[in-house]
């Protein structure tokens, strides 16, 4: 336990996200700000859903376990819907801000495109969501103890870490697809995003049968990843060019004159 | 131009996710390889500055600096506004991290043994909730009045040019911070980790720490060391507040201080506004000591014989810390506006570095703001054992501070 579990779980849960942050976001202050703003919007959605949750739990019957379970399901569904609503709100805000800036700016192009914003805001949502899921677990894992000593599953920390990684990546993909479908007014793909979010969250009700929740989740991650890739302009051709280092745009943009 | 399919963003230098070169920032340091304060900067500087990348952007900025003042400023302030915001995020985050780490590990700062500061004489161990609330409000009133009185006192001193008095006051405060408070802190850390230590070693450590701190802050020193000391001092002060302010009083005080700051800075007769205006009339910088600067320090290393108020740096002694804190924070907020004015090229009296771009003058934040934010986050960390609360406070503070600064900038403009 302790240090190895702590570091292992941290890197599993946040490794991809931190790598993405370091390589693509950290250098550009504007992106960092939008990332943190995205995290803030996720926090707002959580605040709202936790308010509702708190009130309903207070007025509910604390003895009946079926009611509590029903309340939990209700809470999860509400939270997902509120998160997506906040994502939409953030999208609207960004659109307005971008338009305002474009009007005032002397440049013809915006300093940051809506696609980059989609990526950055999705990652912001993911960071915050993952942090909220994982941070207390990580803090506990540093201390002494045995997981599941009272008969619960021993894989709790590890599967939480994997779930968190999936959620972070998913939020990023959802962000990309969401903004893209808002731009193109494809409301059906918006609905698919919301439904997939609901699906992933509801899959977690199968815990502690972690296989039942993790495997479908990762399938969804993969599928959504593909969808986001194609949404943001990727294609097999692009991918091939990129991997064989023949992508002229990329090379030109990163051209280092000698 | 693009061979990619998307119409919306062609892949070029702007839209590349993985950044290409950015024109290097000429820095104050004699050693040009010294890493910059912000996290981002070292990465930028490790990429060799490209002559091809530089001239276009410099040309562009040169062209844009020409007469059309209104339009040109829109794109640049956005980018450099963002850069400045990040330059502030990093030290604020560092300070908060230090405070939270200390709170979570060193139990001394969360132990309540009934001791309170003399500024908050009313106890919170009352029988009823109403009484407790009343006591915390009374504590707040006392604390705020102390701050107001100190601020007015400082403004009066400044107006009548009692620079020596102010100077002495600040030196005394920083002496106390650097020696006594850090000694206490070190002692508590040793106790927590059960490390054996002898007095001569501690004396040596504290002596060196303190003296170097005094020199860095009040005289000349490497920029990063000065920043590190300012952060350390803010963290120490915040920890003292977290320990000695009772729970409810702390939260009410935090709320009241925000209101007071806004009032004191934006109100025409506010003491801080008067202070800033007096300093501007006299063409002097106001107590750069109380202010964390992320770039070029005006006074450090600049031989400027015309000044009377030589580096009246750093502050935050415990008794006058509130005054300085609030001044510092309000001053710093006010300072953003002169900064933006300067960067519009209207008033260049402070620019001792004419070769720097206007944008690279960096940004200043009052130490009071550091302390304020750190107390907020520290209290959140201390109150609940929950890390989620701390994280939420941290993100909220970052966003709200950015929003407040931007609003103030725009209101002033």
To the nearest whole Å, the CA of B357 is away from the closest chain A CA by 18
Q: Are residues B294 and B260 in contact, defined by beta-carbon separation less than 8 angstroms?
A: no
What pLDDT is stored for residue B186 in this prediction?
95
Q: Does B7 touch chain A (CB under 8 A)?
A: no
B39 assigned to active site:
no
Report which of residues B136 and A234 the model is more confident about. Answer: B136
Q: Give residue A213's pLDDT band: very low, low, confident or very high (50, 70, 90).
A: confident
Contact present, A179 and A114 (Cβ < 8 Å) = yes
Angle at Cα B301 formed by Cα B372 and Cα B346, nearest 5°?
Answer: 70
Tell me which residue of B8, B76, B395 sits closest to A118, measured CA to CA.
B8
Q: How far apart are CA A94 and CA A88, in angstroms?
A: 10
Residue A121 has pLDDT above 80, yes or no: yes
Terminal C-alpha separation, chain A: 51
Give the CA radius of gyration of chain A: 20
Interface test with A, best of B68, B72, B395 (most A CBs within 10 A): B395
Residue A17 to residues A172, A224, A225, B89, B396: CA-CA distances in angstroms?
9, 16, 14, 20, 21
B40-46 long-range contacts (CB < 8 A, ≥24 apart) are B40/A26, B40/A27, B40/A29, B40/B86, B43/A26, B43/A27, B44/A27
pLDDT at B8: 43
For residues A97-118, average pLDDT: 75
Contact status, residue B329 vs residue B291, Cβ threshold 8 Å: no
Look at the pTM and tell me if it is higher than 0.80.
no
In the block, residue with structure tokens 């009007």: A103
Q: CB of B115 within 8 A of CB of B102?
A: no
B388 touches chain A (CB under 8 A): yes
The Cα-based distances of B320 to B74, B146, B177 in angstroms read 40, 9, 12
- Structural tokens at position A2: 């302790």
Q: Which residue out of B39, B65, B86, B413 would a mutagenesis test of the A interface target, given it has the greatest number of A Cβ atoms within 10 Å?
A: B86
Candidates A115, A247, A248; nearest CB to B9: A115
Taking alpha carbons only, the member of B382, B399, B341, B347 closest to residue B89 is B399
Residue B364 phi/psi, 5-degree rounding, is -120, 145
Residue B372: how many other CB atoms lie within 10 Å: 25
- List Cβ neighbours of B389 (8 Å cut-off, separation of 6 or more): B380, B381, B383
Q: Closest partner residue to A136 among B71, B82, B387, by Cβ?
A: B387
pLDDT for residue B409: 67
Q: Do A253 and B16 touch (CB under 8 A)?
A: yes
Chain A neighbors of B53, CB-CB under 8 A: 257
In contact, A216 and A225? CB cutoff 8 Å: no
3-class state of residue B70 by DSSP: helix
Q: Do B86 and A104 touch (CB under 8 A)?
A: no
Q: How far is A212 from chain B (nearest CA, A)?
A: 27
Residue positions counted in chain B: 413
- Where do the H-state alpha helices sit in B199-266? 199-218, 223-244, 247-266
At residue B291, the 3 state secondary structure works out as: strand
In sequence order, what are the residues at sequence separation of 6 or more whose Cβ sits closer than 8 angstroms to the Cβ of residue A224?
A170, A173, A174, A177, A196
Which positions in chain B touch A27 (Cβ < 8 Å)?
A: 19, 22, 40, 43-44
Mutation to test the B interface, candidates A13, A19, A29, most B Cβ within 10 Å = A29
pLDDT score for B210: 94
- Residue A155 in contact with residue A70, Cβ under 8 Å? no
Chain A nearest-CA residue for B3: A249
Contacts B2 to A, Cβ<8 Å: 249
Does the beta-carbon distance from A104 to B392 stay under 8 Å?
no
Q: What's residue A255's pLDDT?
A: 59
Contact residues, chain A, for B404 at CB < 8 Å? none
Chain A residue whose CA is closest to B89: A33
Choose the mutation target among A27, A124, A245, A247 for the interface with B, i.e. most B CBs under 10 Å.
A27
Q: How far is CA B359 from CA A46, A213, B169, B288, in A?
A: 37, 51, 33, 19
What phi and psi values does residue B320 have, to the nearest 5 degrees?
-110, 15
Q: CA–CA separation, B61 vs B67, rounded Å?
A: 12
Could you tell me which residues come within 8 angstroms of residue A100 by beta carbon, excluding any fewer than 6 positions away? Answer: none
- 8 A C-beta contact, residue A195 and residue A154: no
Single out the catalytic residue among B261, B315, B320, B360.
Answer: B261
Question: Whole-number mean pLDDT of chain A?
Answer: 88
Question: What are the pLDDT tens digits along chain B (413 aa)?
Answer: 434 444 444 555 555 555 554 444 443 444 444 333 333 333 333 333 334 434 444 444 444 444 444 444 455 666 667 777 888 888 999 999 999 999 988 888 888 877 778 888 888 888 888 888 898 899 899 988 998 898 888 888 888 888 888 888 888 988 988 899 999 999 999 999 999 999 999 999 999 999 999 998 888 889 889 899 999 999 999 999 888 888 888 888 888 888 887 777 777 777 777 877 887 788 776 665 677 777 654 444 333 333 333 333 333 333 344 444 444 444 444 333 333 333 333 333 333 344 444 445 667 777 888 888 899 899 888 887 789 989 999 999 888 888 777 776 666 55
First to last CA, chain B: 40
Q: Are B212 and B225 in contact (CB under 8 A)?
A: yes
**Strand extents, DSSP E, A131-195:** none
Interface of B with A in 328-357 (CB under 8 A): none
CB–CB contact A111 B79 (8 Å) = yes
Tell me, yes or no, if B369 is annotated catalytic: yes
Nearest residue to B180 (alpha-carbon basis) of B209, B200, B220, B143: B209
The nearest alpha carbon in chain B to A238 belongs to B4
In this prediction, residue B12 carries a pLDDT of: 56
Provide the 8-state DSSP code for A205.
G
Question: In terms of Cα–Cα distance, which of A52, A257, A69, A151 is closest to B21?
Answer: A257
Sign of the dihedral defined by the CA atoms of residues A234, A240, A245, A249, in that order: negative
Mean pLDDT of A183-205: 92
The beta-carbon contacts of B277-282 under 8 Å, at least 24 apart in sequence, are B278/B155, B278/B158, B278/B159, B279/B158, B280/B338
Place of tokens 């745009």: A249
Set B320, B334, B360, B369: catalytic member: B369
Q: Quick check: A6 and A141 in contact, CB under 8 A?
A: yes
Report the alpha-carbon distance of residue B369 to residue B377 in Å, rounded: 12
Q: What is the pLDDT of residues A29-64, one digit of tens each?
A: 889 989 999 999 999 999 999 999 999 988 887 788
Partner-chain residue, chosen from A40, A105, A131, that has the shortest CB–CB distance to B399? A40
B8, A36: Cβ pair inside 8 Å? no
A188-222: b or e for each residue (b if 16 or more CB lie within 10 Å)? ebbebbbebbeebbebbeebeebeebbeebbebbe
Selection from A163, A181, A143 nearest residue A217 by Cα? A163
* pLDDT for position B410: 64
pLDDT given for residue B345 in this prediction: 35
Who among A106, A131, A257 is closest to B75 (CB)?
A106
């Amino acid at each position: 336990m302790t240090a190895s579990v702590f570091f292992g779980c941290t890197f599993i849960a946040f490794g991809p996200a931190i790598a993405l942050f370091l390589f693509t976001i950290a250098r550009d202050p504007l992106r960092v700000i939008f990332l943190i703003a995205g995290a803030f919007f996720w926090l707002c959605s959580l605040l709202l859903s936790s308010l509702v949750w708190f009130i309903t739990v207070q007025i509910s019957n604390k003895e009946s376990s079926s009611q509590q379970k029903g309340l939990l399901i209700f809470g999860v569904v509400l939270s997902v819907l509120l998160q997506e609503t906040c994502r939409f709100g953030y999208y609207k805000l960004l659109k307005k801000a971008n338009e305002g800036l474009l009007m005032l700016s002397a440049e013809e192009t915006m300093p940051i495109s809506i696609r980059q914003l989609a990526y950055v805001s999705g990652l912001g949502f993911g960071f915050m969501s993952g942090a909220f899921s994982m941070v207390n677990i990580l803090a506990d894992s540093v201390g002494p103890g045995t997981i599941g000593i009272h008969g619960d599953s021993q894989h709790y920390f590890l599967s939480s870490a994997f779930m968190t990684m999936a959620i972070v990546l998913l939020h990023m993909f959802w962000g990309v697809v969401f903004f893209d479908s808002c731009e193109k007014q494809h409301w059906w793909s918006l609905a698919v995003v919301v439904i997939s979010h609901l699906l992933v969250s509801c899959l977690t009700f199968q815990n502690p049968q972690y296989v039942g929740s993790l495997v479908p989740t990762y399938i969804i991650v993969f599928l959504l990843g593909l969808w986001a890739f194609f949404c943001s302009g990727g294609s097999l051709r692009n991918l091939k060019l990129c991997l064989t280092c023949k992508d002229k745009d990329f090379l030109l943009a990163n051209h280092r004159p000698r | 131009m693009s061979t990619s399919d998307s119409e919306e963003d062609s892949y070029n230098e702007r839209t590349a996710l993985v950044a290409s070169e950015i024109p290097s920032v000429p820095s104050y340091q004699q050693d040009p390889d010294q890493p910059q304060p912000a996290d981002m900067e070292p990465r930028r500087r490790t990429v060799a500055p490209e002559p091809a990348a530089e001239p276009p952007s410099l040309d562009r900025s040169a062209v844009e600096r020409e007469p059309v003042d209104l339009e040109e400023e829109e794109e640049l302030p956005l980018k450099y506004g963002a850069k400045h915001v990040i330059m502030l995020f990093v030290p604020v985050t560092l300070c908060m991290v230090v405070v939270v780490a200390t709170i979570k590990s060193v139990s001394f700062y969360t132990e309540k043994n009934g001791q309170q500061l003399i500024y908050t004489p009313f106890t919170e161990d009352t029988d009823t909730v109403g009484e407790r609330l009343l006591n915390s409000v009374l504590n707040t009133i006392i604390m705020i009045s102390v701050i107001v009185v100190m601020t007015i006192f400082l403004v009066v001193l400044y107006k009548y040019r009692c620079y020596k008095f102010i100077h002495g006051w600040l030196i005394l405060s920083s002496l106390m911070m650097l020696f006594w408070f850090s000694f206490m802190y070190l002692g508590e850390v040793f106790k927590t980790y059960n490390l054996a230590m002898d007095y001569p070693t501690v004396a040596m450590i504290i002596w060196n720490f303190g003296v170097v701190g005094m020199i860095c802050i009040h005289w000349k020193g490497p920029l990063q060391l000065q920043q590190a000391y300012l952060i350390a001092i803010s963290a120490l002060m915040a920890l003292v507040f977290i320990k000695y302010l009772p729970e409810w009083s702390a939260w009410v005080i935090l709320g009241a201080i925000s209101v007071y700051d806004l009032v004191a800075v934006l109100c025409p007769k506010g003491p801080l506004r008067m202070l800033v205006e007096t300093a501007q009339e006299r063409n002097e910088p106001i107590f750069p000591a109380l202010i964390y600067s992320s770039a070029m320090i005006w006074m450090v290393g600049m031989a400027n014989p015309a000044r009377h108020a030589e580096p009246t740096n750093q502050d935050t002694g415990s008794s006058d810390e509130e005054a300085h804190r609030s001044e510092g924070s309000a001053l710093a907020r006010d300072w953003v506006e002169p900064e933006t004015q300067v960067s519009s090229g209207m008033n260049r009296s402070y620019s001792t570095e004419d070769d720097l771009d206007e944008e690279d003058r960096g940004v200043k934040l009052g130490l009071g703001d550091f302390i304020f934010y750190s107390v907020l986050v520290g209290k959140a960390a201390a109150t609940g054992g929950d890390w989620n609360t701390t994280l939420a406070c941290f993100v909220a503070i970052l966003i709200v501070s950015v929003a407040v600064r931007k609003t103030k900038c725009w209101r002033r403009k």
